[in-house]
């Protein structure tokens, strides 16, 4: 049969089959398809590196925004808080001149002319016990505890012969009552053995007793004898640092600074500083509107002995 006599449909079918065979036989076709696939993959609009860059940028923006807000808050606080003066002779600097010291002293003595401890006692024995119990505890709490304690142990001898557990039971609402009970019992036994049952009246002798440090000894001497010594508790420490009278880190060094600065009437100043710190120059929320030495205040920050 002549070739030109083949039907058109059969010829088209044969051409299509030949084309498919050529495509299979051509290695370039597979390569081309692979290239196309890769291009499609690469054409992903958010690649991993770009995503990481976007996250970093977003993180930086967030940090910058937080820093800006913090800065704005600090500025707002600074506007509300009085700025400290920086001139050498300014009342707000922590270098106190003699004239400034004299002014501070006279104002405290004027505002607290008859300052006394708020501890309730009847004799030096009871005073010593009260002061020992008041360490890191309020006077109010001590005054709640001591009536029953003194009814049970009215003097040194009875306390020296007490049962330790009975003392603990009577003072258990006071802070660190276990240690304080042991100190009270040992102190009473020492007074009985070493001082003939009489509470000593000198700083060194008092400091030889269990649980009695320099602050406790000085408070007893200040309150009972109006001795010209300074005792530094948390209130005195905070007030003296806020007023720039001392920069010392410890209570003992602060005591030395105050003694050197004020020199006389230290017993009255101690009690005045205690009352002022307790009711006006408070640790967390000072009553600045009631302060009579506000121009000397260097900061509202709290201070504690090291």
Residues acting as catalytic residues: 215, 233
Instruction: Give the tokens for residue 195.
Output: 């001082």
Beta strands in 103-151 (DSSP E): none
Spacing of C-alpha 57 from chain mean position: 37
Residue 301: other Cβ atoms inside 10 A: 9
Q: Is 167 helix (H, G, I), strand (E, B) or coil?
A: helix
Residue 198: DSSP 8-state? S
Q: Are 252 and 214 in contact (CB under 8 A)?
A: yes
CA-wise closest residue to 213 among 179, 240, 243, 244: 179
Distance CA 265, CA 226 (A): 9
User: Per this entry, what is the length of the chain?
Assistant: 306
Distance CA 193, CA 183 (A): 15
Q: What is the dihedral of CA 8, 14, 16, 21, to 10 degrees?
A: -170
State the number of CA atoms in the 13 A half-sphere of 210 facing the CB. Answer: 16
């Amino acid at each position: 049969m002549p070739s030109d006599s083949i039907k058109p449909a059969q010829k088209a079918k044969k051409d299509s089959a030949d084309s498919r065979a050529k495509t299979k036989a051509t290695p370039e076709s597979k390569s081309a398809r692979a290239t196309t696939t890769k291009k499609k993959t690469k054409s992903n609009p958010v690649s991993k590196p770009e995503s990481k860059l976007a996250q970093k940028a977003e993180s930086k923006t967030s940090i910058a925004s937080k820093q800006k807000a913090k800065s704005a808050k600090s500025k707002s606080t600074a506007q509300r808080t009085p700025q400290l003066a920086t001139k050498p002779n300014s009342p707000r600097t922590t270098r106190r001149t003699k004239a400034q010291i004299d002014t501070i002293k006279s104002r405290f003595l004027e505002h607290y002319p008859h300052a006394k401890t708020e501890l309730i006692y009847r004799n030096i024995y009871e005073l010593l016990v009260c002061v020992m119990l008041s360490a890191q505890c309020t006077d109010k709490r001590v005054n709640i505890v001591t009536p029953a304690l003194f009814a049970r142990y009215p003097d040194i001898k009875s306390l020296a012969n007490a049962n330790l557990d009975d003392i603990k039971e009577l003072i258990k609402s006071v802070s660190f009552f276990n240690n304080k009970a042991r100190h009270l019992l040992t102190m009473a036994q020492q007074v009985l053995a070493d001082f003939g049952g009489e509470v000593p009246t000198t700083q060194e002798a008092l400091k030889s007793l269990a649980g009695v440090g320099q602050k406790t000894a000085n408070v007893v001497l200040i309150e009972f004898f109006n001795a010209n010594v300074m005792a530094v508790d948390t209130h005195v420490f905070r007030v003296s640092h806020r007023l720039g009278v001392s920069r010392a880190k410890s209570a003992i060094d602060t005591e030395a600074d105050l003694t050197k600065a004020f020199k006389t009437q230290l017993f009255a100043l101690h009690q005045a500083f205690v009352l002022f710190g307790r009711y006006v120059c408070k640790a967390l929320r000072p009553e600045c509107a009631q302060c009579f030495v506000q121009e000397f205040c260097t900061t509202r920050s709290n201070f504690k002995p090291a």
